Amino acid sequence: MRTRPTLSWSSSGPSLPRTSTLTDVVPIVAQGGVVVLSGAGLSTESGIPDYRGEGGSLRKHTPMTYEEFTTSQAGRQRYWARSHVGWRTIARARPNAGHHAVTRLSSKLSGVITQNVDGLHQAAGTGNVVELHGGLDRVICLDCRLLSPRVELDRRLREANPDFAATTDEINPDGDVFLPEEAVRGFEVVGCLECGGVLKPDVVFFGENVPRPRVEQCYSLVDGARSLLVLGSSLTVMSGLRFVRRAAGAGLPVVIINRGETRGDQFASLRVDLPLGTSLTELAELVL
């Protein structure tokens, strides 16, 4: 059974009191055993906009859904044309100060669960990262399940579409962009080199379920943690919110560092409203 995508939420109660200092965060992180749950807000300083923050891409563009991708050839053509353009931005992106601070804090972390598909945690040198929603650097065949590098597909798409020259500055965190219909018309989509089947980025689309073994791996991390630190996520989708609820239900401190309120505020011990790059850099300095 596929879930319906959750694109927005409305606060149903008073917001959690927020702070602009890290005073109460430091002792929680310093004791170690921290599991980080990161979202798109952590990558905005790397030039990848988030979905729901100020200027978020959902204000202008609805992400591709699993149902549309798997049932519509025109939808796949539109997606791959747009993602072919967006991949250039994702591939150029580099870890920012927030990613590097998480890496510096590695000795205090028992794991990182990221909702991001940009690979920037790994590029910054962070280990034990679970990509909850997959990674854009890989492509999977929906028929034979073969995994292949995105750079290989990028080369094949360039060869198949030598005259395709569309550009845009409007990109989603999943590498999708906005292009007018006339720009994608005629774009040639290529199939799996092994079986000719349908290729899909190895990411979880809106409306698609996260593989159960991956969910269980994340639950195991949370169950063995001393605290949960949420970075740059509105927690709108249940795929991330469930780990906040799990931690809170077990009595673990849940700290959220995010610009603006989140769907998980009611489960949090503390919410810090600060820019991620500077606040995480300061947190690493204070803890270490």
Tokens 């991708």: give the residue.
Answer: 69
What whole-number distance in Å separates Cα of residue 118 and Cα of residue 93? 8
What confidence score (pLDDT) does residue 272 get?
95
**pTM of the model as a whole:** 0.90
Neighbouring CB atoms inside 10 A of 273's CB total 14
What whole-number distance in Å separates Cα of residue 35 and Cα of residue 178? 34
* Beta strand pairing call for 147-149 and 199-203: unpaired
What whole-number distance in Å separates Cα of residue 256 and Cα of residue 38? 10
What whole-number distance in Å separates Cα of residue 53 and Cα of residue 92? 22
Say whether 270 counts as a known binding-site residue.
no
pLDDT per position as a tens digit, 23-69: 999 999 999 999 999 999 999 999 998 765 554 444 455 788 999 99
What whole-number distance in Å separates Cα of residue 172 and Cα of residue 50? 7
pLDDT per position as a tens digit, 150-169: 999 999 999 999 999 988 87
Say whether 276 counts as a known binding-site residue.
yes
CATH no. for 18-287: 3.40.50.1220
Say whether 266 counts as a known binding-site residue.
no
Q: What angle do CA 73, 176, 8 make, to 5 degrees?
A: 100
What confidence score (pLDDT) does residue 2 get?
43
Q: Is residue 151 within 8 Å of 136, Cβ to Cβ? A: no
What confidence score (pLDDT) does residue 171 get?
81
pLDDT per position as a tens digit, 69-83: 999 999 999 999 999
Give the H/E segment covering residue 156. Answer: helix 150-160
Say whether 141 counts as a known binding-site residue.
yes
For the chain, domain boundaries: 18-287
What positions carry a catalytic annotation? 133
